Amino acid sequence: MSQYRYTFEKGSKKHQCPACHKKRFVKYIDVQTKEYLPEIYGKCDREMNCGYHLNPYKNGYAKDNTIKNEFNYQINRPKVKPKRVCIPKDVFYKTRKAYEENTFIQNLLNNIAFPFESEDIEKIIAQYHLGTVTKGYCKGGTTFPFIDINNNIRAIQVKTFNKSNHTKNTNFLHSIITKHHTQNQRKIPNWLKDYNNNETKVSCLFGEHLLSKYPYNPIALVEAPKTAIYGTLYFGFPNNPKNLLWLAVYNLSSLNINKCKALKGRNVYLFPDLSKEGKAFNLWSSKAQKIQQQIEDSFFKVSDLLEELAPNQDKEEGKDIADYLIKLDWHKFRKEKNKNSLQEAPKKVTEQTKIIEEDSNSTNSKKAISQSKEIQPKTTKIQLEENLIFQEKQTDNWNEEIDELESFFNKINIPKNNCLLNQATKITNVTQFLKSHLAIVKANNGKPIYLPYLRRLQELKHILSD
């Protein structure tokens, strides 16, 4: 038995709340008299939207129940964290220029062993919204914005590179601007003051803004933005749903559950950089396991292929995929890709706010690079790795499931209207959706990486059979 004389009324009876007037109010009862306390004592169960709670032990009623029972709006709403401040769009827009002065970009066009075509470099700039620092001690550096799934600019990393695209210096745009203002004894802009109070600066994945644009691609998760850029340039752009969509966490230690929330429902392959005694691999493996358990319908797997293949010296130096890739010829990677490329998956119809009007002239670095050299493809470590990723666990096939799906969709009338697959996915053209999804599951029969396609078809079947 409760030792308190005044307790909440048992059961589910709700009264009108004195604060918000909704019938969501639980009253206190006097267990001795079995009577309600005056109607101001109680708790509104609309915790987030109302939050009224008056406790008879807190305002003195319990000691003296003749005190004046005045209504006095008390809020006990759960404490809300201070709102995260993002980098204003105009600050971000100013970085998107001067690619002819950008060392990283110019190296990719001119200085590496197998330079890229300007078309691909323009595409990569547009995809990840890369930019340039044109003044100060980071002049010629590249900006890597961390843009979240709602197109907010959470952070802008700044890196300077040497001739072989190795990182010279790492910084953040907010630090550079803060320093600039302090040194010149100028007032720090209000947004920056607020921004500097953010608990964490890099609070989303690099490339996160691409997730809704490419809803079906398997994800490659790496440490640094540069590696994500190289991965895309070598393995191909995500407009082909078979290609990996490359995202970066920022650094080894910043892989965490909050950053990975945007990866709900995705297949994620992690590629930590090499490290002494596989420390990076072990750290990410244990984190990946925990993250997978907490994120709905996700599949997280750390690739140990670099660990297996890399010589010890590379491990000592902490080499990453980028270091390997950049020495290799990208042409043969693309050839492999083109052989088995599939039609594009239907575009997702969720409202995608365009943060930038892509202007096709933004790359002032157009440079005709002749690509006439014919190079014989040969198996490289990386190719081997890629093949292994896509073939792993290819034990079962989905013949039965595919047959069942096909016969179902053949015998029903395919709806002409939009169809809501789930909260996150609306299908505009069901016929097109079926065509491309069936093609993909048939071409990749049994490969776990394509299981989400099969699941979506089964989901649609379930919806249409009602």
List residues near Zn ion by CB under 5 A: 17, 19-20, 44, 46, 50, 52
The nearer residue to Zn ion, 24 or 209, going by C-beta atoms, is 24
| Smallest distance from Zn ion to CB 341, Å | 57
Measured distance CA(163)–CA(218) in Å, rounded: 32
For 436-466, letters b (16+ CB in 10 Å) and e give: bbbebbeebbbbbbbbbbbebbeebeeeeee
Distances 392 to 278, 282, 310, 450 between C-alpha atoms, Å: 21, 20, 20, 12
**Closer residue to Zn ion (CB): 19 or 306:** 19
Pick 52 or 146: Cβ nearer Zn ion: 52
**Minimum CB distance to Zn ion, residue 436 (Å):** 49
Burial class of residue 410 (count of CB atoms within 10 Å of its CB; 0-12, 13-18, 19+):
exposed
Distance separating the N- and C-terminal Cα atoms of the chain = 50
* Closer Cβ to Zn ion, 36 or 408, answer by number: 36
Cβ proximity to Zn ion: between 14 and 319 the closer is: 14
CB closer to Zn ion, 21 vs 139: 21
Q: Name the minimum Å distance from CB 203 to Zn ion.
A: 33
CA dihedral 47, 51, 56, 59 (to 10 degrees): 150
Question: Smallest distance from the beta carbon of 49 to Zn ion, in angstroms?
Answer: 8
**3-state class of 321 per DSSP?**
helix
Integer CA distances (angstroms), 196 to 90, 141, 156, 191, 238, in order: 18, 22, 13, 9, 34
